[in-house]
Structures are given as structure tokens and as C-alpha cells.
Amino acid sequence: MKNRKSKIAFMVFLISLVCGIAFAIRFPQLFSFNNKKSLDKWREKVFTGRVLYTVNLVDSGGYLSAQSEKSASGIFYRLSFHAVKKPMVSWKWKVVKFPAKKSTGDTQEGWIEKDDYAARVYIIFPSFLFSRTKSLEYVWDKDLPEGLILTSPFFENIKIIVAESGENNLGNWVFEERNIREDFKKAFGREPGVVGAVAIMTDSDNTISTAEAWYDELRVGYANEE
């Protein structure tokens, strides 16, 4: 129950902040995590222990490392753009270690215990009314099939989209590009509104295990180039 309350609190906390004034930025916005100040305008909310988010510099630039040990915390960045006009988001991620979930083949059995993911990218659509706030949550899961859309066990307006699945690419960088508008329509059956924040989370609190993922080149707020 503590973990359940924590993850609901994550959404409430995000909503309370993204409804305020967003940073004045130009779009598209690219987060490259290639210098020690890359996280200066990101904010963190700690729930069940602290996930270690660090910028690691390498010869090719850098990346964001997220290491979770029985913990759940997220980082987020406030911004503002309309998902109909600028519907695209892309990023690179690498899973180093998945949380220790038990695979049963049933997406609903032990749902709350399964709500740990090595890698998550959130797109938040805030509203002053909590019940109207919506979120797309892209995840990389070891067992759930790619393309599956689920409703979060904690809040019905969080839709979990399995963007990457399996262990074939474990330890490798994988590029993702998503059309937020199209995903939102599939998940909620209507057009999206304004995006108020993006967030990143790696967690392993429900499974009482460890998880690790790397993130880089998160790009948001651009038009479909096809």
C-alpha cells in the first residue's frame, strides 16, 4: 500500500508543478545529458528510497544513468507545447538490468507488484482538475509485448505503452520515436491537449530488487517529418 500511495503521489506532485509557469524554452527541445549541468533544470521527487540519477560523461558526449535499489523516484522537466501541432518525441535508452519480476503470462495477475520498470518516459498532460490530468507512460519491459497499452493500476488516466520489449537488446542503445498525438488517441480515444512536462523514472521498489537503465537524446516538441 505504501508503494501504491507513493506512485499516486508522484502524479499528484507532477500535476501541482506543471500547472504552474513552465520554463521559457524553444522547440524542439533536446536533452543530451552531455555535461555536468544537464540536470540543473530537472527536478526530482523521492518516494520509496532514492534512485541514483547521474550524468556520466564519455568521449562521445554523455548519458543519464538511473540506478534503482529497492527504490522509486523520478525526475521531471516542465515545458509547454501542444501535442497536435508538435506531436513527436524521441529518445535513446539502454536497459542494463531489469527488475526481478515473476513472469506469469497474465498481465493482470500481481499487477501492482509488476508495476516496476527498468525504463520509463512520461509525457504529462496536466489539468487543474486532477481527475482530468492524463499521462502517456512509455516503458521497456522484459515480458510484456511491444505495442501493448495498459491502464496503470494506480490511476486510470495513466496509460502504459510498451515501447520496447524483451532482452534481445539488453545492454544495447535503442532509439525510440513516438507520435504523441496518435498514441494519445489510441489510449484515450480523443485528441490531446498541451504537454506540461516530461519525466523519467527507473524503479524496483515493488519487486524489492534492483534495476538500471541509461537515457540520452530526449527530444520533444517537433512536427512529424514523414
Integer CA distances (angstroms), 214 to 29, 53, 169, in order: 19, 9, 13
Map out the domains of the chain as residue ranges. Answer: 2-222
**For the chain, what percent of residues have pLDDT higher than 70?**
82
Q: Which of 190, 214, 191 is CA-nearest to residue 202?
A: 214
Mean pLDDT of 50-54: 97
3-state per-residue secondary structure call for 95-114: EEECCCCCCCCCCCCCHHHH
**pTM for the complete prediction?**
0.88
Grid coordinates representing 206 are 515493488
> pLDDT, tens digit, for every residue of 167-182?
999 999 999 999 999 9
Residue 86: how many CA atoms within 13 Å on its side-chain side? 17
Any idea which of 27-36, 52-61, 123-132, 177-186 has the lowest mean pLDDT? 123-132
| pLDDT for residue 69 | 96
Integer CA distances (angstroms), 5 to 92, 155, 182, 205, in order: 30, 11, 30, 12
One of 2.40.10.340, 2.60.120.200, 1.10.10.10, 3.40.50.300 is the CATH number of 2-222, namely 2.60.120.200
Mean pLDDT of 192-198: 94
> pLDDT, tens digit, for every residue of 156-169?
899 999 999 999 99
Residue that has been written with the C-alpha cell 525504463 in this structure: 119
| pLDDT for residue 21 | 44
Mean pLDDT of 201-224: 94
**For the chain, what percent of residues have pLDDT higher than 90?**
68
- Identify which has the larger pLDDT, 109 or 143: 143
Question: Rounded CA gap, 32 and 29, in Å?
Answer: 10
